[in-house]
Structure 1
Amino acid sequence: MTDALSPQPTPSAGATAPATAPTPVAAAPVDARIIAVTSGKGGVGKTFVSANLAAALTRRGLRVLVLDADLGLANLDVVLNLHPKTTLHDVFTGKAQLEDAVIKAPGGFSVVLAGSGMVEYSRLTPEVRNEFFNVIQTLAPQYDVVLLDTGAGISDVVLFSVSLAQEVLIVATPEPTSLTDAYAAIKVLATQQKRQHVRMVVNQAARAGDGRAITGQLQQVLDRFVTTDSGRPVRLIHMGDIPADSSVREAVMRRQLLMLQMPGCPAALAVAQLANKLESTLLKPAGNP
């Protein structure tokens, strides 16, 4: 573990370092709890978690919006098998109103899809910043929870999206490359965005308890090499594990939500537990995380 998580890791393809570090941005004045679902590298199931977590939270009676914040390589529409007439691209270019881009997804929650291949929005320009900030500010008051399904890595666009959230949920798998890139992402969030804590879910866990052990090992590396402005190490909060489950691949291949098609399978039950923990820790009156 220590070898994989060296103090100065070289991020793999999923974690592309930003050319210029973005300035932390204050979150929009909104009522909803905004949670950025992100990852150090791609291919770890981040969008799967976002979509199924939204379904699980909706089942608990919450008003949930998933905003596709992966402006360059969006695939939330593929996971949900949706074919929207209006996307963020249309809103950003003035071809449509924002309310036209909000659609209902299977599972009852709302989504705003980015549209794949938005190359012109893969860089953090002032226009992208303003448009995205306005989207959050306009929509968030209508919901209890907003999940930002960000891109992977530490690009300017990803970090800006994350900066608009009050909480960060980082998704990782037990693979060394995923953990190394998760470490790189957490380090940037702690040093550039002054995050005091980051929440973590381990996907594709082989055995019960693996995720908690992995989180503990990663915390040890953070304690040693990453210090926040407060002088204390960034706190990594283990939110749960999603076990390796063949039902997940089946649902993804069918472009169906696991929570709807196989709600009793081990992975779906784990997502439901994650939703319960998020609701009890983040959606209650103000207190310690």
Structure 2
Amino acid sequence: MNDTVASAPAAAVASPSGVLLHPSRGKVIAITSGKGGVGKTFLSANLAAALTRRGLRVLVLDADLGLANLDVVLNLYPKLTLHDVFSGRCTLDEAIVQAPGGFQVLLAGSGLVEYSRLTPEVREDFLRLMEQVVPRYDVVLLDTGAGISDVVLFALSLASEVLLVATPEPTSLTDAYATIKVLATQQRRQLVRLVVNQAARPGDGRAITAQLQAVLNRFVGGDGRAAPIRLVHMGDIPVDKAVREAVMRRQLLLLQAPGCPASLAVGQIAGRLVDTVLKPA
């Protein structure tokens, strides 16, 4: 089945949460996971670099409001963060910084309890933020937290596409299934894109996608409480020692080891996103 998404109309459209997104000027992709520690933030940063190389204007927004770590992956030490924007201590332009790889980032602080749950204030702050940033970029990547908390689900509701990261480990796949089920039942999502990280063999990701799809077909969407949901396999990132080396050095893999297997895999995933969901209107 062809998963190519038709070009979006120029008019603004409302997301499931009500925020007006402008598909002709920006596409919002949420990168998430059921289980933590599967490489979600690593993919967000390196995918942004790969999309920037293709000539796109990219912003990565750290939507893990309570336990942010995008700054660690990128070796950045921001003086101003998303929380300063929300509190009015700085403007949006003052908080957006240039990252290695040529893209821009809006970082969040870590360990702030007031942002660990979805209060009406956090919701409204985030909605206003998205209305400002989406028109400025070709693509906005939301690096969400892991799991299905109310903050994570709200961030996902703002995205036109969800890119779910999982590893072949049973715990990761179980949590991935739970996340997909919630997206189908609560947000009526009909499509989720899957990236399998730390794949041991070529073809692992397609097999895992087929297995998850079979379980979803059996248990989700058949009773009318959820929309039938389709998984699209976007690619595998193989086990590669260069990944650990880049993470330990707090450097982008695509800059440190651009020819390694994992870098090439991220580049291929970026190409598929461009071909399927980021085509110009």
TM-score computed with the length of structure 2 as normaliser: 0.91
- 1-side partners of 2:41 and 2:53: how far apart? 18
Please tell me whether the aligned partners of residues 24 and 192 of structure 1 are also in contact (alpha carbons under 8 angstroms).
no
Structure 1 counterpart of 2:72, one-letter code:
V
The 5-angstrom pairing of residues 3-152 of structure 1 reads: 24-30=16-22, 31-152=25-146
Report how many aligned residue pairs link the two structures. Answer: 264
Q: Which residue of 2 aligns with 1:4?
A: none
Unaligned stretches of 5+ residues in structure 2? 1-14
Instruction: Give the CA RMSD over aligned residues.
Output: 1.5
The 5-angstrom pairing of residues 102-251 of structure 1 reads: 102-227=96-221, 233-251=228-246
- 2-side partners of 1:50 and 1:222: how far apart? 26
- 2-side partners of 1:49 and 1:117: how far apart? 22
Determine helix, strand or coil for the equivalent of 1:73.
coil
User: 1:26: how far off?
Assistant: 3.1
Alignment deviations for residues 252-279 of structure 1 (CA, whole Å, 9 cap, x no partner): 0000000011000000000000000000
Moved more, 230-239 or 28-37: 230-239
- 2-side partners of 1:43 and 1:26: how far apart? 31
- 2-side partners of 1:29 and 1:162: how far apart? 14
Alignment deviations for residues 51-85 of structure 1 (CA, whole Å, 9 cap, x no partner): 00000000000000000000010000000000011
Q: Which residue of 1 aligns with 2:5?
A: none
Match of 1:267 among 258, 262, 270: 262
- 2-side partners of 1:266 and 1:119: how far apart? 39
- 2-side partners of 1:246 and 1:119: how far apart? 35
- 2-side partners of 1:74 and 1:232: how far apart? 32
Percent identical across equivalent pairs?
73
Structure 1 counterpart of 2:238, one-letter code:
P
User: 1:91: how far off?
Assistant: 1.1
Structure 2 counterpart of 1:33, one-letter code:
K
Structure 2 counterpart of 1:272, one-letter code:
G
Please tell me whether the aligned partners of residues 36 and 148 of structure 1 are also in contact (alpha carbons under 8 angstroms).
yes
Pair 90,222 (structure 1): closer, same or farther in 2 beyond 3 Å: same
Structure 2 counterpart of 1:212, one-letter code:
R
Q: Which runs of 4+ in 1 moved over 3 A?
A: 228-232
- 2-side partners of 1:193 and 1:36: how far apart? 14
Determine helix, strand or coil for the equivalent of 2:21.
coil
